[in-house]
């Protein structure tokens, strides 16, 4: 590909996007929709274009004087003053975000308590500098966006919405929204922007109780973002409506009360939105610390826009395959899905002839008598014998990261474990909507009678895993009708284990910190950042997209290596992937020491493996390697002339006419075949004289270099011999030390038995995972109890709940006796926890004494 060098740029304001090549927005390389059981196409959905305009209650911004722009200078991103002034010595953390549409990089500065907004361009290599790579440059000076209020907490993560107008500033216990385009005042390159807190009634400012596990913008709406908290509640907020009360609230109940065996099974870790595959667009995947994965479907932001043809295809699919089934369970689930589609997208019932409508807007809807089912945990099915695996995983430690990726016809789920392992699974069936019949939903209506917010309790189905054990996953091409009926039975789809990737991180007492990032151009590729560096993982086998590559494991390539043995602390505080116009990916990372680095992924494209069959061709079919100096015709020599038999030549004399004629003929044949060939050889050698001379000189130079290398090796031979002798002495010394160590008393101790090893592993898991999960659960419950104990002024009497959450008539209120009983139960639970800690210390002491 020919690259065009960018011309010299005129001075331009730093906040304007660079006029040179911009980085396009990350677009998925996969088809917009695909099925696993039938090849019928589906159309993609486009992100929501919901308005993010401020409501009437927002304060008006004060007018500011006209800003004077200084000429912009372009420097490498790593040399930008935002990093160079504090690189290696400053305080890192806070993260980074990338705005692909405006080509801007947002970086949180902990020391300045603000966000750097940096204009970025990707410059081509200059033609007079051979070997120079494409440069990622930043504009100087850059803008500093400051929140108008003191946040009062440490920002650990920032994320930008789809249109680049709002920035989430998330901490461990608090969240604030910074409005990028709503400026309160300006002072040169420093801009003070309007800032508002999120869920202030749930997240206290004293950093006590409920923790923020993850927050992320919804991919199909620029005004909706999801928040997962440690009290096992997933909340969906609408930026254009209300930041205090969530639009949708889902109380997750992964295990029925009284059946909890492990505290880690009720502690959420992360979540991920679905994408580009049928009902996956309406799904939210939630990971718990024991590695179990649950699904909420359908979850749709109110007011988000979706493709009309895509929704019509789902609607037709349910009516065609679901309602005509002879199975009553299939018909029931189909009726529920149809009712949800018709209420959420009422245009499906109108069937207007106007074909200009391409998008459908989701209307606020939730069934009054039914709530969403927390589908899961997703069981894993073995490919060989098609049997379901148990809930336990072969990975050690606790789950710390999670990401969803849509690749071709497959939905891939990647789980990162604290032991340094990556668990890669794919959905073996389709996700379908599922409701719990008879579990009412709490609705909040506005003055016009429209649904304003929704809250529901999502219970898991305990019979789901039992039903899955009786259901064997059919092959893709067999019995399409039975496959379709199995989809609509309401069972949770199983997971197909693709691979477990071990990053070989150093073993540490605490769990390692791992973060997962998707590649914006190659969906089969993702990146894993940890304390030891940055790795790139590429998938080759996918059960529905690439079934022919079943024996090819994922490939892992280290991008950066820190050499740090402590992997518990993260290496990067910010990481973004930039897709340039040439199909390459630029990786921009910010370390915790506030240093910035840029890595271009152009040189790490893996070539397609070339497979050759050595038995397909004989030796005669293989062409011999010839030099490019002389043509093949000259090297093969002249073609020999065809001469008549010499029996008739003996009767001829040289003086006769026939003899002279024959002699003249042979002279002519010799001239045509040999003299002309010699002339061609002379001309060819004369023309290639310079080439031969150059080759000889090059060979002589190489010969001289080899001679110099041999001389240097000879001079270093004595030094190498000395080092070898010293290594031999050290080896002998180590052997003597080993022999002396064998005489110690501890060398004769017996190894632990299998039962003791299992008991020790259980103790390690209890100390590493269960105690942390139990403490987190106790803190979340305590915070929730304090919040409900202190009733708000506008709350329902005696309940501590908001008016819209007041219980229905006929239901008992929470009395003071019940509240005191709950407090006593929590105190008893704390005492039991202390007793368990004491017993654990005694067991560890006994084990150490036994080992000694």
DSSP-derived letter for residue 634 is H
Per DSSP, the three-state class of 269 is strand
pTM metric for this prediction: 0.67
Least confident of 441-455, 583-597, 704-718, 828-842: 828-842
pLDDT one-digit tens code per residue, 440-458: 889 988 888 889 999 999 9
pLDDT at 637 over 90: no
pLDDT at 794 over 80: no
Alpha helices in 345-473 (DSSP H): 347-350, 464-469
Residue with tokens 């992360």: 270
Percent of the chain with pLDDT over 90: 18
Which position has the higher pLDDT, 719 or 270?
A: 270
Neighbour-count burial of 150, counting CB atoms closer than 10 A to its CB (0-12 exposed, 13-18 middle, 19+ buried): exposed
d(Cα 823, Cα 258) in Å, to the nearest integer? Answer: 18
Neighbour-count burial of 580, counting CB atoms closer than 10 A to its CB (0-12 exposed, 13-18 middle, 19+ buried): buried
Q: What is the mean pLDDT of the chain?
A: 75
Which position has the higher pLDDT, 720 or 15?
A: 720
Least confident of 64-78, 98-112, 581-595: 64-78
pLDDT one-digit tens code per residue, 687-702: 777 777 888 888 999 9
Per DSSP, the three-state class of 93 is coil
pLDDT one-digit tens code per residue, 534-592: 899 999 888 888 887 777 889 998 888 887 766 667 778 889 999 887 778 889 988 88
pLDDT at 97 over 90: yes
| Residue 737 zone, left/alpha/beta (φ > 0; ψ -120 to 50; rest) | alpha
d(Cα 471, Cα 37) in Å, to the nearest integer? Answer: 16
Q: What is the pLDDT of residue 475?
A: 40
pLDDT at 32 over 60: no
DSSP-derived letter for residue 467 is H
pLDDT at 80 over 90: no
In SS3 terms, 19-65 reads as CCCCCCCCCCCCCCCCCCCCCCCCCCCCCCCCCCCCCCCCCCCCCCC
Task: Give the β-pairing of 190-197 and 143-147.
Answer: parallel
pLDDT one-digit tens code per residue, 645-683: 555 666 667 777 777 787 787 787 777 777 777 777 777
DSSP-derived letter for residue 211 is -
Q: What is the pLDDT of residue 55?
A: 39
382 neighbors 389 (Cβ within 8 angstroms): yes
Tell me which residue of 689, 405, 702 sits closest to 538, measured CA to CA: 405
pLDDT one-digit tens code per residue, 302-336: 999 888 888 888 888 888 877 777 777 777 778 88
Q: Nearest 5 degrees, angle CA 130-CA 136-CA 139?
A: 125
């Amino acid at each position: 590909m020919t690259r065009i060098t960018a011309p010299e740029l005129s001075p331009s304001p730093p906040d304007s996007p660079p006029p040179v090549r911009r980085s396009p927005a990350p677009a998925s390389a996969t088809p917009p929709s695909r099925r696993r059981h039938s090849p019928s196409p589906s159309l993609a959905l486009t992100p929501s274009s919901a308005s993010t305009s401020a409501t009437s209650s927002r304060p008006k911004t004060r007018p500011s004087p006209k800003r004077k722009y200084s000429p912009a200078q372009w420097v490498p991103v790593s040399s930008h003053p935002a990093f160079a002034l504090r690189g290696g010595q400053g305080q890192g953390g806070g993260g980074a975000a990338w705005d692909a549409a405006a080509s801007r990089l947002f970086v949180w500065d902990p020391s300045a308590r603000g966000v750097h907004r940096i204009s970025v361009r990707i410059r081509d290599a200059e033609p007079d500098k051979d070997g120079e790579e494409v440069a990622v440059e930043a504009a100087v000076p850059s803008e500093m966006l400051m929140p108008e209020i003191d946040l009062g907490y440490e920002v650990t993560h920032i994320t930008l919405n789809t249109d680049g107008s709002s920035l989430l500033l998330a901490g461990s216990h608090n969240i604030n929204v910074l409005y990028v385009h709503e400026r309160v005042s300006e002072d040169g390159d420093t801009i003070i922007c309007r800032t508002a807190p999120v869920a202030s009634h749930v997240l206290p400012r004293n950093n006590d109780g409920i923790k923020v596990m993850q927050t992320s913008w919804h991919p199909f709406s620029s005004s909706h973002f999801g928040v997962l908290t440690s009290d096992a509640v997933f909340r969906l907020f609408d930026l254009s409506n209300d930041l205090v009360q969530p639009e949708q609230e889902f109380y997750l109940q992964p295990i029925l009360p009284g059946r909890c065996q492990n505290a880690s099974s009720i502690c959420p870790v992360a979540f991920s939105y679905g994408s580009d595959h049928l009902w996956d667009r309406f799904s939210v995947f939630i990971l718990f610390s024991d590695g179990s994965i649950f699904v909420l479907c359908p979850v749709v932001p109110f007011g988000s826009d979706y493709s009309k043809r895509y929704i019509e295809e789902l609607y037709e699919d349910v009516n065609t395959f679901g309602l005509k089934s002879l199975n009553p369970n299939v018909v029931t689930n189909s009726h529920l899905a149809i009712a949800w589609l018709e209420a959420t997208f009422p245009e499906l019932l109108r069937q207007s002839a106007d074909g200009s409508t391409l998008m459908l807007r989701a209307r606020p809807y939730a069934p009054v008598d039914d709530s969403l089912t927390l589908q899961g945990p997703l069981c894993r099915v073995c490919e060989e014998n098609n049997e379901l695996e148990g809930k336990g995983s072969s990975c050690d430690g606790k789950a710390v990261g999670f990401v969803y990726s849509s690749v071709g016809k497959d939905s891939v789920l990647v789980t990162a474990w604290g032991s340094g392992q990556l668990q890669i699974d794919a959905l073996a069936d389709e996700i379908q909507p599922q409701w719990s019949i008879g579990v009412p939903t709490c609705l909040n209506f506005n003055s016009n009678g429209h649904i304003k917010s929704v809250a529901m309790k999502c219970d898991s189905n305990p019979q789901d895993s039992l039903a899955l054990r009786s259901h064997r996953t059919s092959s893709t091409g067999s019995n399409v009708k039975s496959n379709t009926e199995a989809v609509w039975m309401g069972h949770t789809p199983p997971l197909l284990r693709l691979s477990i990737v071990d990053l070989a991180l150093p073993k540490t007492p605490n769990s390692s910190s791992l973060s997962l990032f998707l590649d914006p151009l190659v969906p089969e590729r993702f990146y894993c950042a940890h304390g030891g560096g940055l790795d790139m993982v590429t998938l080759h086998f996918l059960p529905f997209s690439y079934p022919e590559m079943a024996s090819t494991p994922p490939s892992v390539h280290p991008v950066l290596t820190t050499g740090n043995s402590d992997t518990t602390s993260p290496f990067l505080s910010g990481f973004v992937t930039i897709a340039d116009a040439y199909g390459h990916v630029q990786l921009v990372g910010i370390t915790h020491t506030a240093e910035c680095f840029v890595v271009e992924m152009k040189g790490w494209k893996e070539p397609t493996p070339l497979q050759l069959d050595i038995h397909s061709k004989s030796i005669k079919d293989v062409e011999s390697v010839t030099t490019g100096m002389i043509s093949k015709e000259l090297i093969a020599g002249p073609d020999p002339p065809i001469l008549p038999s010499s029996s008739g030549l003996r009767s001829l004399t040289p003086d006769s006419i026939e003899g002279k004629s024959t002699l003249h003929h042979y002279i002519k044949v010799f001239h045509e075949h040999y003299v002309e060939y010699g002339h061609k050889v002379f001309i060819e050698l004369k023309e290639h004289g310079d080439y031969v001379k150059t080759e000889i000189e090059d060979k002589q130079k190489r010969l001289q270099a080899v001679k110099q290398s041999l001389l240097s090796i000879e001079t270093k031979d004595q030094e190498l011999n000395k080092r070898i002798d010293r290594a031999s002495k050290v080896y002998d010394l180590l052997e003597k030390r080993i022999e002396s160590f064998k005489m110690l008393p501890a060398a004769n101790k017996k190894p632990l038995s299998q039962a003791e090893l299992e008991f020790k592993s259980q103790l390690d898991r209890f100390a590493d995972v269960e105690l942390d999960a139990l403490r987190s659960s106790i803190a979340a419950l305590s915070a929730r109890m304090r919040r409900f104990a202190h009733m708000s002024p506008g709350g329902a009497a005696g309940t501590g709940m908001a008016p819209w959450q007041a219980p229905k008539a006929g239901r008992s209120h929470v009395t003071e006796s019940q509240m005191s009983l709950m407090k006593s139960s929590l105190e008893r639970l704390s005492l039991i926890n202390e007793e368990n800690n004491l017993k654990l210390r005694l067991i560890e002491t006994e084990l150490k004494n036994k080992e000694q």
